[in-house]
Structure 1
Amino acid sequence: MDFDEAATELYGVPAADFISKRNELAKQLKADGDAAGSARLKALRKPTVAAWVANLVAREKPDELDDLLALGDELREATADLDGERLRELTPRRHQQIDVLAKAAQKLAADAGIKISADVGQKLRETLDAALIDPAAGEALRDARLSSALRHVGFGVVDESGEPSNVMPLTDDRRRRADERRKKRSQAGRAAEEAPESESSGSSETAAEARKRAEREEAERLEAEQREAERLEAQREADEAVAAAEAAESTVEDLTTDLAEARERLEAAQEEVRRLGDALDEARKEARAAQQTSRDARKRLNRLGRATRSES
């Protein structure tokens, strides 16, 4: 199991089981030798109710979600082309498809024993709309790993607290593919810059000059690869440091919650001790009263016995 598989499994469990499942999967990743992945997993946030429902829709209704995101592509194209007629045609579909997914979400949540409040329903619709408008938000929702509902506010996407949302965190695979694309673009640009020089040299370039140029190009390529490798290593270390810090923060939050629950249990236990102490005091009073009653009865019995003997 790698980090992506663990994260996908984690966000598929009921919200009530999130923390225990996160600890279990993080321990498994660490045991498998992926300490960085374990730290990253520990840093993942428990989803809000709205985010959990949105993730549920993404997992259970992927075709309908794809239709919504495809409509977003059409809307962006029509907007870029200033095609007012096309926009007027697409806008009603936008509301219809969001309605379809919102209704599906209510049924899915009900089947899972979750009742969607009006506030959660509104946040879900805002998340679906943000996914339609913003491609990165759409991809994040498709991954079904949201920890917060999303909202598009004109300049970007924010989470439920109103803070800018990092809706497209790069996985290791995505980061590697992005680096490869940048390297290819860099090599293509360098080749384009050097092409005129090669063409102008033509047959006048001697074998020695050609060899020196090839050596220089190879040295530059190796140096660029070394710089890129160093940059990737630095980025990896930075990611691990951030993940470790986030994991520590998450651990503090969990411990704070545990401490609050422990305090509640302690207060309940102290209250029970006080109740039992009062009951013990009352029992002791009743026992003393019973002892006194017994002594009084014995005295009366002794007096009665003496009186009977005197009469005889």
Structure 2
Amino acid sequence: MPPDDSGAAALAAALAQLYAVAPDEFVTTRTRLVQEAKAAKDTALAKELGRARRPTVAAWAVNAVVREHPEHAQRLQVLGQRMRAAQAQLDAAAMTELRSERDQLLGTWADDADAAGRRAGRPLTSAVGEEVRATLIAALAEEEAMQAVLSGHLTRALRYSGFGEVDLSEAVVRTSSGAVLSVVPAAAQDEPAAEAGAPEAKPGRKGTERHTSPRTAAEDEAAAAREAADRERVDAAREAHAAAVEAATEAGLALDQARDRADETRWRVEELEGQLKQARAEHRAAEQAATEAARARRSAEVEVARADKALRDARARPD
């Protein structure tokens, strides 16, 4: 069945809005978009949006640079193609030359990512900065990782170990089709369409044999009752399906909210660990200053004692 272009456009627009907000606004924005989709009776869109995960700070910062600086994204893509080509050809001279260009571009991305974080009230820690750098290196190393980064819908940082493939599991927004921002699959028809040219089925016909004997009123009533029962079963199945979809959407939202809380606590732990590290450094400096001050005080006390003794000796001497 061909994709539903209008559904794909609505999903792309909603995701673009969702992944443009600051990390602290993600959950409330997603909830609002899901509610709006439900109000519009767009169950498929609500389900897709409910599956969208909040990005980590590093992933959000990379998305922000992709969105705000498309020229950097283009440079990254071109550089990745050149680096992979040089690697495939084992061109050491080209790799050495490109490494300098890579470092310059990574520095530009780092500055812009940090600026985006500061505007959102969340300056990037050194650990997050390293995750941003690792993500870009992974994109340069592998085409699929590059596509994930340039989608602008990254959900977590990437890492390339120097061999093998980059792990992209739960690293980028995917629709129920499993593709990155692909067209939302249209819902299957409730009943299969009749094949072109196929003879229409008629009551009383089986194969080429035709029954011409008239049906009694009781038989007509029984057939009507069966058709009514069939319709009721279909309606009940449809209602059960809609309820199951609704339950799955709500369960997905609950799961993502739990993940969001886990992410938030992890960010808070990172912040507290940074503050603790700074506090320990300040404590060590204060202890060192206190030790030096105590040493200076002892030296001063010794000098005072010497001065007192000298004064007493001077007074004790006769004129």
- TM-score with structure 2 length normalisation? 0.53
| TM-superposed deviation, 1:158 | 3.2
CA deviation digits over 1:94-141, x for unaligned, max 9?
Answer: 122111111121122222222110111111111111122222222222
| Equivalent position of 1:123 in the other structure | 131
Given the alignment of the two structures, is residue 33 of structure 1 paired with residue 41 of structure 2, yes or no? yes
Aligned residue runs from structure 1 range 115-154, under 5 A = 115-153=123-161, 154=163
| Equivalent position of 2:164 in the other structure | 155
| TM-superposed deviation, 1:247 | 5.8
Q: Which runs of 5+ in 2 are unaligned?
A: 1-8, 187-196, 198-243, 262-319
| Equivalent position of 1:248 in the other structure | 251
Percent of residue pairs identical = 32
May I ask how many residue pairs the two structures share in their alignment? 192
Q: Secondary structure at the match of 1:151?
A: coil
Q: Which runs of 5+ in 1 are unaligned?
A: 177-218, 220-240, 259-312
2:105 to 81, 97, 110: 97
Whether the 8 Å CA contact 2:155–2:173 is kept in 1: the answer is no
Alpha-carbon distance between aligned partners in 1 of 2:37 and 2:249, rounded to the nearest angstrom: 17
Distance 1:130 1:18, change over 3 A: same
Alpha-carbon distance between aligned partners in 2 of 1:73 and 1:243, rounded to the nearest angstrom: 44
Alpha-carbon distance between aligned partners in 2 of 1:97 and 1:79, rounded to the nearest angstrom: 19
Alpha-carbon distance between aligned partners in 2 of 1:42 and 1:166, rounded to the nearest angstrom: 16
Letter in 2 for 1:157: V
Given the alignment of the two structures, is residue 173 of structure 1 paired with residue 183 of structure 2, yes or no? yes
Letter in 2 for 1:130: A
| Equivalent position of 2:84 in the other structure | 76
Given the alignment of the two structures, is residue 86 of structure 1 paired with residue 94 of structure 2, yes or no? yes
Whether the 8 Å CA contact 1:55–1:146 is kept in 2: the answer is yes
| Equivalent position of 1:112 in the other structure | 120
| Equivalent position of 2:217 in the other structure | none
Alpha-carbon distance between aligned partners in 2 of 1:165 and 1:75, rounded to the nearest angstrom: 26
Distance 1:256 1:60, change over 3 A: closer
Letter in 1 for 2:164: F
| TM-superposed deviation, 1:47 | 1.3
Alpha-carbon distance between aligned partners in 1 of 2:18 and 2:79, rounded to the nearest angstrom: 29
Alpha-carbon distance between aligned partners in 1 of 2:259 and 2:154, rounded to the nearest angstrom: 23
1:24 to 20, 32, 35: 32
- TM-score with structure 1 length normalisation? 0.54
Whether the 8 Å CA contact 2:51–2:256 is kept in 1: the answer is no
| Equivalent position of 1:216 in the other structure | none
1:53 to 57, 61, 82: 61
CA deviation digits over 1:163-216, x for unaligned, max 9?
Answer: x4554732343989xxxxxxxxxxxxxxxxxxxxxxxxxxxxxxxxxxxxxxxx
| TM-superposed deviation, 1:78 | 1.4
Query: Which has the larger helix fraction?
Result: 1
CA deviation digits over 1:237-264, x for unaligned, max 9?
Answer: xxxx999757624414537989xxxxxx
Letter in 1 for 2:257: D
The more displaced of 3-12 and 104-113 is 104-113
Distance 1:18 1:168, change over 3 A: closer
Alpha-carbon distance between aligned partners in 2 of 1:173 and 1:126, rounded to the nearest angstrom: 30
Whether the 8 Å CA contact 1:137–1:168 is kept in 2: the answer is no
Alpha-carbon distance between aligned partners in 2 of 1:53 and 1:26, rounded to the nearest angstrom: 24
Letter in 2 for 1:152: Y
| Equivalent position of 2:10 in the other structure | 2
Distance 1:60 1:242, change over 3 A: farther
Alpha-carbon distance between aligned partners in 1 of 2:149 and 2:75, rounded to the nearest angstrom: 13
Letter in 2 for 1:251: A
Aligned residue runs from structure 1 range 157-306, under 5 A = 157-158=166-167, 164-165=169-170, 167=172, 169=174, 170=179, 171-173=181-183, 245=248, 248-252=251-255, 254=257
The more displaced of 76-85 and 47-56 is 76-85
Distance 1:109 1:81, change over 3 A: same
